[in-house]
């Protein structure tokens, strides 16, 4: 085990040195500045920090890390603080530096011929998408938090989102990284190459490492042609088996151009309509299960409208789809996506929720949903399943809202029991207990329960090799 770097408060002379490295705009000890950054997005974890530090450059980050290494000060890297598992929330003792990357937000270069964009870690995801679109290119990573999450956070969590089945997750979208190591050294892996077989691919150690190995300061990301023909439909689907059959058919019918395939249960739609303003129900009749499906082609004449109509017509004739509507305008498409992406916020307003971000092989999804729903409802009658998500990747947000009459606190006391019921079934089916959100603080014990000993041992050895003093994000993941 790495030593606990955060067991004592940092020396004041170390903090003074850090302040002078980053200058007046680069640090704050004011409670008002720090408060929003010390609690996780879901509001379940809170911490304290010895100092909030906001470096403006790689050089400043490296100097700060050098001081931290010298004095043995622990560091919590932070992006947009939208983690679903409290991965960027410091611990309560207040001995850590909170290293918020938001000031490092330059887009260094867009190269449309190389199909790459080079960005600093603090760039907001939506700004990268916009800068790429201006160059007629697509940066396909897309998720509900894209207006506030940062690319450094996306890479550190290996984020997924709604376009993974076509373009891959964050790991698949990165060509190069620049990382400040716990020693203060800068590892320059900022390559723009699609081929490079010169030994271990070091960048992939940092992707998905949740700030436990170093601070990502910049990245080279892959771009794609900006789609010119996007067709989006909202379909009521007969049942879970029909969803999976539809997914397979959609790939064929579109010429493998499905860019999103999301599943939404009726309860999620009801919550979004109830709690988020400006949403309308796309279909007149109520049904239990829906799919939000998008086909996209790079050329304006890709023929996606015809593909989607033919796909829905056959699915309707075969009884897989009960009703469907294809978006006729950006506003209509926006409404479909607002429902889908509003569920997280709506579920938070509705009261306590116990979440599972799970993945199983796509063909096992119906079995998983039926078995695990029954097991949880048997455990707690009245609990409200809120199942939705990236079914195209076999990744569901298999969530539960509290029974309406129950106290939120009493409901959340069953968090661990409900997690165990679901995760046991998921693991039994060869699945993952964290498909895209990561581990952080929330799922650390679950990781240790389910991950084989040898996997954990290898992870610890990598950690010890890169961060021997245990300075990076202690208490998270490992
Ligand atoms: P933070 O929350 O600030 O940090 C996350 C982790 O990354 C922490 O461990 C932190 O230490 C580390 N970190 C941050 N920046 C750096 C850096 N520069 N160097 C090293 N480590 C760093 N996630 C998905 O995968 N798919 C979704 O569809 C999705 N939808 C969401 C919808 C909503 C409404 C919300 C609130 C969240 C959603 N998330 C989703 C979760 C979250 O947005 C992602 O995990 C995101 O990638 C986190 O980015 P962030 O910048 O907010 O990182
Ligand atoms: C999404 O896909 C996010 O909307 C959040 O990953 C999921 O609220 C959730 O559990
Ligand atoms: Zn998701």
Q: Six-digit token pair at 417?
A: 């029991």
Length of the chain: 478
Is 153 a member of any domain? yes
* 118 and 146 fall within a common domain: yes
Identify whether the C-beta of residue 34 lies closer than 8 Å to the C-beta of residue 8: no
Flag whether pLDDT at 127 surpasses 60: yes
* 187 and 247 fall within a common domain: no
What average pLDDT does this structure show over 64-77? 98
Ligand 2 atom nearest residue 344's Cα: 8
Flag whether pLDDT at 136 surpasses 90: yes
Residue 460's SS3 state is helix
**Alpha carbon separation from 216 to 41, 147, 183, 280, 348 (Å, rounded):** 21, 20, 14, 41, 31
Q: Give the Cα separation of 163 and 152 in Å (integer).
A: 19
* 237 and 205 fall within a common domain: no
What confidence tier does 4 reach under pLDDT thresholds 50, 70, 90?
low
Is 117 a member of any domain? yes
**Share of residues in the chain with pLDDT > 70 (%):** 99
Is 400 a member of any domain? yes
CB of 38 within 6 A of ligand 1: the answer is no
What average pLDDT does this structure show over 388-412? 98
What average pLDDT does this structure show over 365-376? 98
**How far does the centroid of ligand 2 lie from the alpha carbon of residue 71, in Å?**
39
* 138 and 194 fall within a common domain: yes
* 253 and 363 fall within a common domain: no
What average pLDDT does this structure show over 299-307? 97
Residue 69's SS3 state is helix
Q: Which of 41, 44, 61, 149 to mutate to test the pocket of ligand 1 (most atoms within 8 A of CB)?
A: 149
Which residues does ligand 2 sit against, CB inside 6 Å?
Answer: 144, 341, 344, 355, 389, 397, 399
pLDDT of residue 473: 98
pLDDT 10s digits, 151-184: 999 999 999 999 999 999 999 999 999 999 999 9
* 258 and 196 fall within a common domain: no
What confidence tier does 6 reach under pLDDT thresholds 50, 70, 90?
low
* 163 and 270 fall within a common domain: no
Flag whether pLDDT at 311 surpasses 50: yes
**Alpha carbon separation from 104 to 152, 205, 357 (Å, rounded):** 10, 22, 30
Ligand 1 atom nearest residue 83's Cα: 2
* Structural domain harbouring 408: 351-437
CB of 161 within 6 A of ligand 1: the answer is yes
* 204 and 293 fall within a common domain: no
What average pLDDT does this structure show over 80-85? 98
pLDDT of residue 2: 47
* 155 and 252 fall within a common domain: no
Flag whether pLDDT at 220 surpasses 60: yes
Q: Mean of the per-residue pLDDT values for the chain?
A: 97
pLDDT of residue 22: 98
CA torsion sign for 272, 274, 278, 284 is positive
pLDDT 10s digits, 315-366: 999 999 999 999 999 999 999 999 999 999 999 999 999 999 999 999 999 9
Q: Which residues of 79-91 are buried (b: 16+ CB within 10 A; e: fewer)?
A: bbbbbbbbbbbbb
* 232 and 216 fall within a common domain: no
Ligand that lies nearest to the alpha carbon of residue 343, given by its number in the listed order? 2
CB of 153 within 6 A of ligand 1: the answer is yes
- The count of domains in the chain is 3
Question: At which of 204, 225, 246 does a domain end?
Answer: 225
What average pLDDT does this structure show over 422-427? 98
Residue 385's SS3 state is strand
Flag whether pLDDT at 292 surpasses 50: yes
CA nearest ligand 2 atom 5, residue:
344
Q: Which residue has the tokens 């190069």?
A: 176
What confidence tier does 7 reach under pLDDT thresholds 50, 70, 90?
confident
Is 185 a member of any domain? yes
CB of 152 within 6 A of ligand 1: the answer is yes
What confidence tier does 5 reach under pLDDT thresholds 50, 70, 90?
low
What DSSP assignment string belongs to 437-458?
Answer: S--TTTTHHHHHHHS-HHHHHH
Q: What CATH number has the domain bearing residue 127? A: 3.30.465.10
Q: Six-digit token pair at 403?
A: 């029974």
Q: Which residue has the tokens 């304290």?
A: 48
**How far does the centroid of ligand 1 lie from the alpha carbon of residue 85, in Å?**
9
Is 467 a member of any domain? no
What average pLDDT does this structure show over 188-200? 97
Flag whether pLDDT at 1 surpasses 50: no
Residues with Cβ < 8 Å from 436, sequence gap 6 or more? 157, 158, 159, 160, 161, 164, 169, 357, 390, 395
Q: Which of 82, 158, 260, 471 to mutate to test the pocket of ligand 1 (most atoms within 8 A of CB)?
A: 82
């Amino acid at each position: 085990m790495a030593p606990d770097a955060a067991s004592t408060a940092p020396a004041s002379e170390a903090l003074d040195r850090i302040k002078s490295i980053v200058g007046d705009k680069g640090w704050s000890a004011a409670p008002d500045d720090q408060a929003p950054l010390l609690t996780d997005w879901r509001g379940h974890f809170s911490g304290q920090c010895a100092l909030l530090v906001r470096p403006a450059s790689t050089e400043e980050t490296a100097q700060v890390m050098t001081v931290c290494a010298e004095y043995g000060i622990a560091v919590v890297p932070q992006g947009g603080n939208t983690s679903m598992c409290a991965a960027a929330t410091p611990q309560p003792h207040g001995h850590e530096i909170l290293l918020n990357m938001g000031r490092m937000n330059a887009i260094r270069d867009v190269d449309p011929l190389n199909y790459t964009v080079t960005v600093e870690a603090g760039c907001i995801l939506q700004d990268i998408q916009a800068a790429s679109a201006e160059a007629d290119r697509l940066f396909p990573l897309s998720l509900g938090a894209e207006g506030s999450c940062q690319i450094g956070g996306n890479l550190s969590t290996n984020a997924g989102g709604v376009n993974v089945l076509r373009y891959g997750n964050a790991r698949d979208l990165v060509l190069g990284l620049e990382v400040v190591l716990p020693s203060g050294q800068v590892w320059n892996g900022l390559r723009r190459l699609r081929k490079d077989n010169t030994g271990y691919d070091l960048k992939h150690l940092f992707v998905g490492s949740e700030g436990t190995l170093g601070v990502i300061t910049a990245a080279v990301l892959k771009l794609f042609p900006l789609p010119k023909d996007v067709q989006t439909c909202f379909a009521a689907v007969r049942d879970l088996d029909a969803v999976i059959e539809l997914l397979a058919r959609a790939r064929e019918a579109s010429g493998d151009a499905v860019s999103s395939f999301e599943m939404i249960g009726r309860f999620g739609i009801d919550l979004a309509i109830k709690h988020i303003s400006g949403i309308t129900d796309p279909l007149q009749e109520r049904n239990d299960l829906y799919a939000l499906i998008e086909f996209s082609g790079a050329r304006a004449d890709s023929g996606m409208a015809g593909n989607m109509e033919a796909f829905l017509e056959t699915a309707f004739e075969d009884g897989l789809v009960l009703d469907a509507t294809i978006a006729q305008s950006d506003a209509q498409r926006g409404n479909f996506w607002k429902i889908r992406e509003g569920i997280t916020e709506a579920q938070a307003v509705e009261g306590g929720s116990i979440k599972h971000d799970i993945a199983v092989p796509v063909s096992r999804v119906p079995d998983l949903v039926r078995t695990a729903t029954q097991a949880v409802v048997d455990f707690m009658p009245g609990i409200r399943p809120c199942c939705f998500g990236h079914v195209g990747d076999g990744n569901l947000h298999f969530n539960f809202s509290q029974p309406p009459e129950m106290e939120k606190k009493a409901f959340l006391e069953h968090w661990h029991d409900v997690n165990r019921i679901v995760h046991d079934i998921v693991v039994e089916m060869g699945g993952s207990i964290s498909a895209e959100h990561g581990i952080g603080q929330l799922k650390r014990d679950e990781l240790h329960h389910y991950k084989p000993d040898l996997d954990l041992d290898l992870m610890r050895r990598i950690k010890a090799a890169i961060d021997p003093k245990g300075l990076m994000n202690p208490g998270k993941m490992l």
